[in-house]
């Protein structure tokens, strides 16, 4: 059935002559959901265009476009009619444990949240994010925190308002974290980082000491953007990314966006002195893209058809970026191709590549950091976000607090705002509550891969040969095909055969960044 062409009942249950059955109400919900997804997809496409090619003078109109799309979608979904359809489904008539019943439960959760949010708040959030992203990009380039400060203050204010509207039991940050990681609470993340922090700080020091034995110039040279694009495309295609249903473009900050079935877009950026920045960027975003391409297309527009959480989404990206891209089997297979694209690597061996790409150093930039230090970057951002939301930190004081805490964690003095608090796009987007999911993703990735290798000898042998189709098939079967039907912690536990913990992750860091060589 083409749900985009199913007529919507104009007056909900009260507007028809006879009571609506659960099946009829479900069909109306599904039709509305797919129609509203078209608005969401249009907003995603507008964002992609804004980041990849929109003329600067188009910003004002783009903000208005996105505001209209997002506010219309919100108004329609949060309407009384939607609530009546959900209630009709809940009244009985749908098979217990069915796909339809699961969708209704997800609609109920989303609806109960949507009706708490005024449309003018939702519209203001969308318009502010569009304008703030542009202001952030300019401020980052100019090292000008003062230029971005009004937008940061606005973003924090809007997120505080959202948290108050949604409500929370313990901490206002809970309401924002739940947007990205269903069911997760601030106290849980604090407790997790409390356990991880001492070990991560210690491990970062030992990894840095081990890395002093690895020459800094192993991969020194000039890397053309053309060569990087070619190499990255070949790698992304080889691990399974479908370019008939996707593409790669350039943006200030790499991202992945699913516009719709058969249209998953990745972006990347390039450095002439370091090809690994773009390689790991594309492995990371292609990992997101593989997840999006693995979601059931026939579910698109229904709540079950979405990814389950960003902690699971990040597990897919971090898995391909780190566990695959920094491995010896990967470079045994891909070094000859790398030499085709970058001839000056001809004297390097696969072992050289792995040593260079697992060299640890305390650096300023999160996206360019190694696994041994990455989660300290996340810890810093999480702590600052919580402080901003609860009001114990004002936006104007972020640079000073950032620099102080960075020195405590890394022992380095932050040289400028571009390499400090202006480096990430997230706060300009209003994506406060997001950062912790990167660490959850790292933990999930290690836990899932350990289970996959232990439970499937053929998969482990294929990975050791640099062949990754069995790994992708395992993820498709255990993670991707389930969409949003199962809560994130339960999905990972089912896939791996046990609840996620940090043992596999910390074991990998010790093995790769301390005990190697």
The strand order across the sheet containing 246-250 reads 246-250, 263-268, 256-260
Which has the closest alpha carbon to 72: 106, 38, 46? 38
Torsion of CA 171, 176, 177, 180, to 10 degrees: 160
Q: Which helix (H) or strand (E) holds 335?
A: helix 328-341
Query: Residue 285 catalytic?
Result: yes
Rounded to 10 deg, the angle between the 80-90 and 22-52 helix axes is 130
- The three-class DSSP label of residue 264 is strand
User: Where are the alpha helices (H) located in 181-274, listed in sequence order?
Assistant: 186-211, 225-238
- The three-class DSSP label of residue 250 is strand
DSSP 345: G
The contacts found for 135-140 with CB under 8 angstroms, 24 or more apart, are 135/428, 136/422, 136/425, 136/427, 136/428, 137/252, 137/425, 139/417, 139/422, 140/252, 140/417, 140/418, 140/422, 140/423
Catalytic residue selected from 124, 125, 285, 314? 285
Provide the token pair at 367.
Answer: 């996206």
Backbone angles phi, psi at 259, to 5 degrees: -80, -35
* Separation CA 76–CA 279 (nearest Å): 42
Catalytic center residues: 285
């Amino acid at each position: 059935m083409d749900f985009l062409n199913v007529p919507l009942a104009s007056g909900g249950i009260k507007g028809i002559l006879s009571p609506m059955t659960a099946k009829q109400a479900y069909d109306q919900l599904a039709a509305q959901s797919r129609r509203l997804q078209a608005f969401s997809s249009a907003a995603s496409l507008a964002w992609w265009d804004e980041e990849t090619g929109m003329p600067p003078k188009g910003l004002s109109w783009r903000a208005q476009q996105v505001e209209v799309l997002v506010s219309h979608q919100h108004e329609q979904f949060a309407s009384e009619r939607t609530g009546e359809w959900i209630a009709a489904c809940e009244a009985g008539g749908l098979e217990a444990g069915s796909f339809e019943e699961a969708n209704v439960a997800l609609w109920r959760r989303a609806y109960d949240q949507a009706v708490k949010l005024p449309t003018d708040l939702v519209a203001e959030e969308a318009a502010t994010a569009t304008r703030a992203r542009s202001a952030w990009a300019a401020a980052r380039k100019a090292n000008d925190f003062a230029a971005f400060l009004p937008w940061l203050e606005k973003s924090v204010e809007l997120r505080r308002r959202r948290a108050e509207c949604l409500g929370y039991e313990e901490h206002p940050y809970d309401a924002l974290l739940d947007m990205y990681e269903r069911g997760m609470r601030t106290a849980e993340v604090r407790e997790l980082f409390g356990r991880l922090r001492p070990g991560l700080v210690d491990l970062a020091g030992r990894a840095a000491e081990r890395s002093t034995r690895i020459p800094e110039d192993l991969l020194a040279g000039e890397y053309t953007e053309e060569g990087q694009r070619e190499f990255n495309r070949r790698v992304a295609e080889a691990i399974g990314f479908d370019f008939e249903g996707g593409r790669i473009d350039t943006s200030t900050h790499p991202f992945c966006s699913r516009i719709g079935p058969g249209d998953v877009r990745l972006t990347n950026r390039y450095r002439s002195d370091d090809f690994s920045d773009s390689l790991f960027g594309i492995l990371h975003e292609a990992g997101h893209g593989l997840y999006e391409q693995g979601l059931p297309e026939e579910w698109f527009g229904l709540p079950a058809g979405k990814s389950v959480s960003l902690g699971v989404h990040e597990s897919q990206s971090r898995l391909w970026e780190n566990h695959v891209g920094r491995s010896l089997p990967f470079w045994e297979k891909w070094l000859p191709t790398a030499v085709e694209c970058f001839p000056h690597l001809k004297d390097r061996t696969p072992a050289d590549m792995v040593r260079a790409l697992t060299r640890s150093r305390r650096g300023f930039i999160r996206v360019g950091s190694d696994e041994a230090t990455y989660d300290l970057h996340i810890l810093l951002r999480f702590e600052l976000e919580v402080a901003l939301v609860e009001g114990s930190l004002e936006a104007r004081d972020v640079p000073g607090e950032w620099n102080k805490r960075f020195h405590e964690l890394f022992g380095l003095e932050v040289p400028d705002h571009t390499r400090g608090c202006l480096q990430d796009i997230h706060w300009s987007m209003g994506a406060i509550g997001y950062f912790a999911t990167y660490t959850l993703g790292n933990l999930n990735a290690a836990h899932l891969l350990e289970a996959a290798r232990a439970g499937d000898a053929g998969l482990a042998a294929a990975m050791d040969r640099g062949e990754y189709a069995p790994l992708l098939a395992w993820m498709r079967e255990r993670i991707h095909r389930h969409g949003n039907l199962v809560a994130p912690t339960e999905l990972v536990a089912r896939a791996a055969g046990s609840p996620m913990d940090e043992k596999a992750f910390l074991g990998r860091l010790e093995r790769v960044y301390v005990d190697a060589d």
